[in-house]
């Protein structure tokens, strides 16, 4: 399926926003704290209620497609939606991220949602989300989503649900194959 140029441009701008968040977070904590040894509490049930926009989900889908892991990613997202009942979009419902690896690393690090990027180590053995840094880029991210979706209504959804919705929108052939 040919993707519109607006989506490609919006994805490039989203990647620039993600990079700016990473750069500012890395400068702030340079040499003080590290994610090494992290047990990824912020990615697990009981803590994680991360939501993603359609554009963030599309970025993850493209990363998975580039790696040859689109089908597996869709299966993981579908299992998470079913297991934690994320389809009804209950606010605050927590879940373990379907892209958290067995080694407690992000399996989609290069395209992770902006909210995930703002979780940074603030002390040994712990991290926190920098809400101020996130708020500064969310408004711009909303404009990018509006442009890429050409006025279609959208809202952030739990990451696994957002992944499936973006797959139906941008990868319809893959979603049909994975349901068979």
Task: Count Cβ atoms within 10 A of the Cβ of residue 27 and give its class: 0-12 exposed, 13-18 middle, 19 or more buried.
Answer: exposed
Share of the chain above pLDDT 70, in %: 81
- β-partners of residue 62 are none
Structurally, the chain folds into a number of domains equal to 1
* Total-model pTM: 0.87
State how beta strands 126-129 and 119-123 pair. Answer: antiparallel
Tell me the pLDDT tens digit for each residue of 82-96: 999 998 777 789 999
Side-chain-side CA neighbours of 111 within 13 Å: the count stands at 23
- Which DSSP state fits 82? H
Q: Which domain holds residue 125?
A: 5-179
Tell me the pLDDT tens digit for each residue of 43-85: 999 989 999 999 999 999 999 999 999 999 999 999 999 999 9
User: What angle do the packed helices 5-29 and 54-67 form, to 10 degrees?
Assistant: 90
- Which DSSP state fits 42? G
- How high is the pLDDT of residue 159? 96
């Amino acid at each position: 399926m040919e993707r519109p140029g607006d989506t490609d441009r919006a994805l490039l701008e989203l990647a620039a926003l993600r990079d700016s968040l990473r750069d500012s977070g890395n400068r702030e904590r340079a040499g003080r704290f590290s994610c090494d040894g992290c047990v990824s509490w912020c990615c697990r049930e009981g803590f994680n209620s991360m939501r993603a926009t359609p554009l963030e989900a599309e970025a993850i889908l493209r990363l998975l497609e580039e790696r040859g892991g689109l089908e597996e990613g869709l299966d993981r997202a579908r299992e998470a939606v079913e297991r934690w009942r994320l389809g009804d979009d209950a606010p605050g419902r927590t879940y373990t991220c379907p892209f958290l690896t067995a080694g407690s690393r992000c399996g989609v690090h290069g395209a992770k949602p902006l909210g995930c990027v703002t979780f940074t180590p603030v002390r040994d053995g712990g991290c926190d989300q920098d809400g101020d840094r996130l708020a500064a880029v969310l408004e711009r991210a909303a404009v990018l989503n509006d442009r890429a979706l050409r006025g279609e209504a959208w809202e952030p959804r739990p990451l696994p649900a957002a992944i499936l919705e973006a797959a139906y929108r941008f990868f319809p052939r893959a979603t049909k194959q994975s349901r068979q």
